[in-house]
Each structure stands twice: as structure tokens, then as C-alpha cells.
């Protein structure tokens, strides 16, 4: 898989060991990991950039997220930039795992997105951290949006989809996926369905 790893550059001083633990584990599984934006830049240098340089950085990050299958974030050290890129990943329909050692921001906890997963971890329990990452990757592989089909609907259904998508601030496709996911959860014990 292709994985976009993100974490606070400012938090690197305190959490570099954890950042490397996560990315080295992903690399050991032969995944492609986009992470140079975390390891090869300094806060002072980033803050001194011009607007044009910031725009280029943003476009590069967006392209790397677009080319990735998932995003994994070490989110213990808060960062507005990292938070924004989480939003970009979700808008691009990428599953996001946020690993943290303390409590995450309440907005993350309250976000109902089917693509957002939060997991507390301890750097002292490396086996559990690796298990969490493996579970996320395995489940995300099943959730990649790579199946397409056509759906014919009538005008009333189209009007309803337009209305509900505006009301809930989701795309029509996301709304339909939410309906399917809800039904899957409800019928999870159905013996006739096998995943």
C-alpha cells in the first residue's frame, strides 16, 4: 500500500522516536511511505518560506495524499497543519488512522466520518501499536473505493439526494455509502452474507 504519514514537525523534538517507530514498521512491511515532509524540514525553515513555497508544499502534500491509499498520523503533538491535511485526506476518501498518547481534540472524537479512526497507544507497548496499525491497514484495504457501478434514479430520488446531501453536508455518493454501511452494521450477523 501507499501510506501518507503525517505528524507535527514542531513535535518531532519530543516524539521523533515514535515517528520513526511507526514509519520504520510500515517500511518493514514493504509499504511506500510518504514522510519526508515530517523528517526533512525544520520549523524555522518552513516559517521563513514565501507564499509561493507554501503553495508548492501544499500541492505536493495533496498530490501525495491523492496517490496514497491511507493516511496514518501520529497526533500526540497538536498541529493545525496536520489537522488540515487530515481533512484533505477525508475529502479525497482516504481512511485516516490517528494515533495519540493523550486525549485528542474533541472535534476529532465527535466526527462521524466512516474514514476516521482514533486509537490511543503507549510507546512502551510496541506489539499493541503494531497490531493496531496492521488491523487498520487490513480493514482499510477492504474499504478502498475502487468499485464502481451505475445507478439510475428518478427525479424525486434525485431531488431528495440533492436536498439531503446539502442538509448533511456530504456528497450524494457519501450519503448512499452511509446508507449501505448502516445496513451492513445492522445486518452484520446475517448468515447469508459473507464479506
DSSP β-ladder status, 32-34 and 2-7: parallel
pLDDT of residue 56: 93
Summarised one tens digit per residue, pLDDT across range 124-152 is 999 999 999 999 999 888 776 667 778 88
Q: What is the mean pLDDT of the chain?
A: 88
Q: What is the pLDDT of residue 144?
A: 65
pLDDT tens-digit series, residues 28-63: 999 999 999 999 888 899 889 999 999 999 999 999
Helix axes 51-67, 80-91, angle to 10 degrees: 40
| Average pLDDT, integer, range 58-85 | 94
**Alpha helix stretches (DSSP H) within 68-171:** 80-91, 106-110, 126-143, 155-168
Amino acid at each position: 500500500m501507499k501510506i501518507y504519514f503525517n505528524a507535527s514537525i514542531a513535535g518531532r523534538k519530543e516524539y521523533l522516536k515514535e515517528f520513526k517507530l511507526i514509519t520504520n514498521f510500515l517500511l518493514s512491511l514493504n509499504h511506500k511511505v510518504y514522510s519526508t515532509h515530517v523528517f526533512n524540514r525544520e520549523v524555522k525553515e518552513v516559517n521563513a518560506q514565501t507564499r509561493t513555497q507554501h503553495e508548492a508544499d501544499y500541492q505536493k502534500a495533496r498530490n501525495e495524499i491523492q496517490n496514497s491509499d491511507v493516511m496514518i498520523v501520529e497526533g500526540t503533538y497538536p498541529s493545525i497543519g496536520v489537522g488540515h491535511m487530515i481533512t484533505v485526506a477525508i475529502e479525497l476518501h482516504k481512511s485516516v488512522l490517528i494515533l495519540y498518547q493523550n486525549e485528542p481534540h474533541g472535534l476529532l472524537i465527535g466526527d462521524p466520518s466512516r474514514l476516521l479512526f482514533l486509537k490511543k497507544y503507549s510507546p512502551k507497548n510496541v506489539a499493541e501499536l503494531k497490531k493496531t496499525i496492521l488491523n487498520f491497514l487490513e480493514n482499510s484495504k477492504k474499504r478502498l473505493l475502487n468499485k464502481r457501478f451505475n445507478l439510475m434514479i428518478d427525479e424525486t430520488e434525485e431531488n431528495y439526494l440533492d436536498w439531503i446531501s446539502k442538509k448533511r453536508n456530504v456528497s450524494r455518493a457519501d450519503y448512499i455509502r452511509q446508507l449501505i454501511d448502516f445496513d451492513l452494521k445492522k445486518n452484520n450477523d446475517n448468515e447469508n452474507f459473507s464479506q
